[in-house]
Amino acid sequence: PFFNEVLEGTDRKLQAMGYRAAYIFSFAEVYTRDQARDLLNDYPVDGIILIGTHHSRSVEYLKEHAQVLVTTFSSLGPDHDAILMDGATGIRTLVDHLATLGRRRLGFITGYFDSRAQGFIEGVRANHLPDDEALRVRLIQSSFESWSPELGRRGAAILMQQPDPPDAIVCASDRLAIGAIQWLHQNGFRVPDDIAVTGFDNIPGSEFTIPPLTTVHVHKDLIGALAAERAIRRIENPDEIPLQIITPTSVIIRQSCGASV
Q: CA angle 221-226-227, nearest 5°? A: 100
Between CA 249 and CA 202 the distance in angstroms is: 10
| Full domain range(s) for residue 212 | 87-217+252-257
pLDDT digits (tens, 9 = 90+) for 18-69: 998 877 765 555 667 887 888 788 877 889 998 876 667 788 888 888 889 9
CATH number for the domain that contains residue 169: 3.40.50.2300
Torsional sign, CA 148, 86, 89, 257: negative
User: What is the structure's pLDDT at 140?
Assistant: 66
Q: How many CA atoms lie within 13 A of 3 on its CB side?
A: 14
pLDDT digits (tens, 9 = 90+) for 74-131: 898 999 999 999 999 999 999 999 999 999 999 999 988 889 999 999 999 999 999 9
User: What are the backbone dihedrals phi and psi of residue 229, each rounded to the nearest 5 degrees, phi first?
Assistant: -60, -45
Is the pLDDT reported for residue 144 higher than 60?
no
Number of domains in the chain: 2
Distance CA 166, CA 41 (A): 52
pLDDT in tens, 146-175: 588 999 999 999 999 999 999 999 999 999
* Whether residue 138 sits in one domain with residue 28: no
Q: Which of 38-47, 129-138, 249-258 has the lowest mean pLDDT?
A: 38-47
Statement to judge: residues 25 and 131 lie in one domain:
no
The reported pLDDT for the residue numbered 145 is 59
Indicate whether 94 and 54 sit together in one domain: no
Position 34 scores a pLDDT of 83
| Same-domain pairing of 25 and 114 | no
Q: Are residues 111 and 123 in the same domain?
A: yes
51/57 Cα distance (integer angstroms): 16
Same domain, 58 and 74: yes
Are residue 137 and residue 45 in the same domain, yes or no? no
Same-domain pairing of 38 and 113: no
* The pLDDT of residue 143: 54
**Residue 36: per-residue pLDDT:** 80
Same domain, 167 and 224: no
| pLDDT tens track for 191-207 | 999 999 999 999 999 99
Residue of 138, 108, 133 lying closest to 120 (CA atoms): 108
pLDDT at res. 197: 99
Q: Give backbone dihedrals phi and psi of 169, rounded to 5 degrees, phi first.
A: -125, 120
Q: Which residue has the higher pLDDT, 202 or 145?
A: 202
* In a shared domain, residues 110 and 189: yes
**In a shared domain, residues 237 and 199:** no
Work out the pLDDT band at 177, boundaries 50, 70, 90: very high
The pLDDT of residue 3 is: 86
- Please report, for residues 61, 224, 251, the alpha-carbon distance to residue 109 in angstroms, rounded to integers and kept in the order given: 32, 26, 18
| Mean pLDDT for the stretch of residues 141-148 | 63
Residues 112 and 174 occupy one common structural domain: yes
